[in-house]
């Protein structure tokens, strides 16, 4: 199912013979309900005219960073923010090299650096240039940064060579772009997500907690709601705005979080435990501020309830997804948690990098296999996570 309706697509065209295919690609995007804006390098204008792209997209084409008229209509930073998806098609070896090194020396490279939207690249070049180790290293750097690489196809090339380097056909690119927004059956699903830290009170002014910012859980809630899911987010104390269309329940301690989860679990199709729940709480809560004692202070701790295990235990319970932030033996510890908590899927991550950062990389672990989600912005990773969950639910319900 394609989900490009009302999506804002920024199509970047670089100078390759396949640029002529962008006319058809723009027509297909528009037909699928997307709004298209086009930016072209100077070389691209040698292969297809800006006037053609303006007529097909219905919008003025961006050609130059220093064009005052274009900047007055929609400045390049505004355009970078406007996009739900940036796709560069065709992407030449030169463009890929410049972007992989973080250059911002024309309108396209600047837009790509400035956008927070997912970025897709459709390479097109001579087969020897494609196979060159420089190009491959640049592409693998982009892939590590979370860029989606579509193609190339193999076959006869404009220069007469035969091999990999042909840009994918517009219909294939349309399908790939649609897949980025396709989160399967989320439109009819209820999701319950926990996020942020918990606070375990020691006395009226002190508590035990951790560095979770809530960013990963809020990104998941935002992307799931955008994909049509009905989302309830149970959040520990964080400093983040509630995403649109998300129902939020604020809690403090692990016990509060357990109550909120169990009170809302009925009818939930997918439970995602992103929260960094404190495993222990003080055995006794002091009702007055504890006074300083020269002898020191010994706190006695007791175990908190394991919220996700309680959810996984439910008969006819939801598809249950956990997270594990580990400092060592990340995959082994993640696997062990998947099994001991009886989860359907778990995302292990490196605790020294994932807490309170804007980006994350994950290893998805199931009882059968495991695979990597490369480092990217937490919203981009959230889309990958939802896609994986959707595939797992679909294959589970097909069994
Ligand atoms: O919030 P951010 O700054 O964006 O950071 C994201 C994150 C690092 C918090 C997130 O990616 C993450 O890894 N969350 C899980 C943290 C963790 O290490 O959890 P855990 O290993 O203690 O627990 C494993 C799973 O059991 C988790 O799904 C957790 O929510 C759940 N759990 C744990 C203890 C408990 N008492 N109840 C639980 O439900």
| Element holding 313 (H helix, E strand) | helix 307-313
**pLDDT greater than 60 at residue 397:** no
Distance 325 CA to ligand 1 centre (A): 6
Amino acid 379: pLDDT: 86
Identical topology for domains 2-179 and 190-285+296-398: yes
- Testing ligand 1's pocket by substitution, the residue of 197, 314, 325, 357 carrying the most ligand atoms inside 8 A of its CB is 325
The answer to whether 308 is a known ligand-binding residue is yes
Strand partners for 371: 364
Residue keyed to tokens 């008229």: 69
Give me the chain's average pLDDT, please. Answer: 92
Residue range 317-332, pLDDT digits in tens: 999 999 999 999 999 9
The answer to whether 88 is a known ligand-binding residue is no
Q: How is the chain split into domains, by residue range?
A: 2-179, 190-285+296-398
Residue keyed to tokens 């796709």: 87
Distance 195 CA to ligand 1 centre (A): 8
Amino acid 178: pLDDT: 85
Residue range 236-245, pLDDT digits in tens: 999 999 988 8
Of 176 and 356, the structure prediction assigns the larger pLDDT to 356
The answer to whether 323 is a known ligand-binding residue is yes
Q: Are 268 and 231 in contact (CB under 8 A)?
A: no
Residue range 160-191, pLDDT digits in tens: 888 889 999 999 999 889 878 765 568 779 99
The CA distance from 268 to 393, in Å, is 13
Architecture of domain 190-285+296-398: 3-Layer(aba) Sandwich (3.40)
Count CA within 13 A, CB hemisphere, residue 397: 10
The answer to whether 319 is a known ligand-binding residue is no
Q: Nearest C-alpha to atom 28 of ligand 1 is from which residue?
A: 322
The CA distance from 75 to 68, in Å, is 9
Distance 193 CA to ligand 1 centre (A): 11
Strand partners for 303: 280
**pLDDT greater than 70 at residue 259:** yes
Confidence grade of residue 309 (pLDDT, cut at 50, 70, 90): very high
Q: Nearest C-alpha to atom 20 of ligand 1 is from which residue?
A: 324
From the options 3.30.1020.10, 3.40.50.720, 3.30.70.100, 3.40.50.1950, give the CATH code of 2-179. 3.40.50.1950
Q: Kindly give the number of the ligand 1 atom that is closest to the alpha carbon of 347.
A: 13
The CA distance from 223 to 245, in Å, is 11
Of 199 and 140, the structure prediction assigns the larger pLDDT to 199
Residue range 359-377, pLDDT digits in tens: 999 999 999 999 999 888 8
The answer to whether 289 is a known ligand-binding residue is yes
**pLDDT greater than 50 at residue 398:** no
Q: Kindly give the number of the ligand 1 atom that is closest to the alpha carbon of 357.
A: 3
* 93-107, 157-171, 193-207, 240-254: range with lowest mean pLDDT: 157-171
The answer to whether 307 is a known ligand-binding residue is yes
Confidence grade of residue 65 (pLDDT, cut at 50, 70, 90): confident
The ligand 1 site (C-beta within 6 Å) comprises 194, 212-216, 254, 273-277, 279, 304, 306-308, 322-325, 337, 341, 349, 354-356
**Mean pLDDT computed over 30-56:** 96
- Testing ligand 1's pocket by substitution, the residue of 273, 346, 350 carrying the most ligand atoms inside 8 A of its CB is 273
Cβ neighbors of 289 (< 8 A, separation 6 or more) are 203, 204, 205, 206
Distance 26 CA to ligand 1 centre (A): 43
The CA distance from 277 to 198, in Å, is 5
Alpha carbon distance, N-terminus to C-terminus of the chain: 21
Question: Mind telling me the catalytic residues?
Answer: 159
**Mean pLDDT computed over 133-149:** 91
Cβ neighbors of 91 (< 8 A, separation 6 or more) are 12, 14, 121, 122, 123, 124
**Mean pLDDT computed over 238-257:** 95
**pLDDT greater than 60 at residue 381:** yes
Amino acid 1: pLDDT: 42
Q: Kindly give the number of the ligand 1 atom that is closest to the alpha carbon of 279.
A: 36
Q: Kindly give the number of the ligand 1 atom that is closest to the alpha carbon of 210.
A: 9
Residue range 18-40, pLDDT digits in tens: 999 999 999 999 999 999 999 99
Distance 281 CA to ligand 1 centre (A): 16
Distance 8 CA to ligand 1 centre (A): 34
Q: Kindly give the number of the ligand 1 atom that is closest to the alpha carbon of 213.
A: 3
Q: Nearest C-alpha to atom 21 of ligand 1 is from which residue?
A: 324
């Amino acid at each position: 199912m394609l989900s490009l309706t009302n999506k804002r697509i920024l199509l970047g065209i670089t100078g390759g013979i396949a640029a002529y295919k962008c006319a058809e690609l723009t027509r297909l995007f528009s037909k699928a309900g997307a709004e298209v804006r086009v930016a072209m390098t100077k070389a691209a204008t040698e292969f297809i005219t800006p006037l053609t792209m303006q007529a097909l997209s219905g919008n003025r084409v961006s050609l130059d960073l220093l064009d005052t008229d274009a900047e007055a209509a929609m400045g390049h930073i505004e355009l970078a923010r406007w996009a739900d998806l940036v796709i560069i098609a065709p992407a030449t070896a030169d463009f890929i090299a410049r972007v992989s090194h973080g250059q911002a020396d024309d309108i396209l490279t600047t837009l790509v650096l400035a956008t927070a939207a997912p970025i897709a690249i459709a390479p097109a070049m001579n087969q020897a240039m494609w196979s060159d180790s420089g190009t491959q290293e640049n592409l693998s750097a982009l892939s590590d940064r979370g860029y989606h690489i579509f193609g190339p196809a193999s076959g006869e090339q404009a220069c007469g060579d035969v091999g990999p380097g042909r840009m994918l056909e517009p219909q294939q690119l349309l399908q790939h772009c649609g897949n980025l927004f396709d989160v399967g059956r989320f439109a009819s699903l209820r999701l319950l997500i926990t996020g942020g830290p918990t606070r375990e009170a020691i006395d009226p002014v002190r508590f035990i907690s951790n560095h979770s910012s809530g960013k990963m859980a809020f990104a998941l809630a935002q992307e799931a709601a955008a994909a049509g899911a009905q989302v309830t987010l149970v959040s520990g104390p964080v400093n983040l705005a509630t995403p649109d269309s998300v129902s939020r329940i604020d809690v403090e301690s692990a016990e509060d979080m357990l109550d909120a989860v169990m009170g809302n679990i009925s009818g939930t199709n997918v439970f995602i435990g992103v929260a960094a729940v404190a495993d222990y709480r003080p055995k006794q809560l002091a009702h007055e501020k504890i006074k300083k004692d020269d002898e020191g202070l010994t706190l006695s701790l007791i175990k908190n309830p394991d919220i996700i295990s309680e959810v996984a235990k439910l008969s006819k319970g939801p598809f249950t997804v956990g997270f594990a932030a580990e400092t060592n033996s990340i995959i082994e510890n993640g696997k062990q948690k998947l099994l001991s908590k009886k989860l359907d899927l778990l995302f292990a991550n490196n605790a020294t990098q994932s807490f309170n950062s804007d980006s994350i990389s994950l290893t998805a672990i199931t009882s059968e296999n495991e695979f990597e989600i490369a480092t990217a912005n937490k919203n981009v990773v959230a889309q990958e996570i939802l896609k994986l969950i959707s595939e797992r639910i679909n294959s589970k319900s097909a069994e």
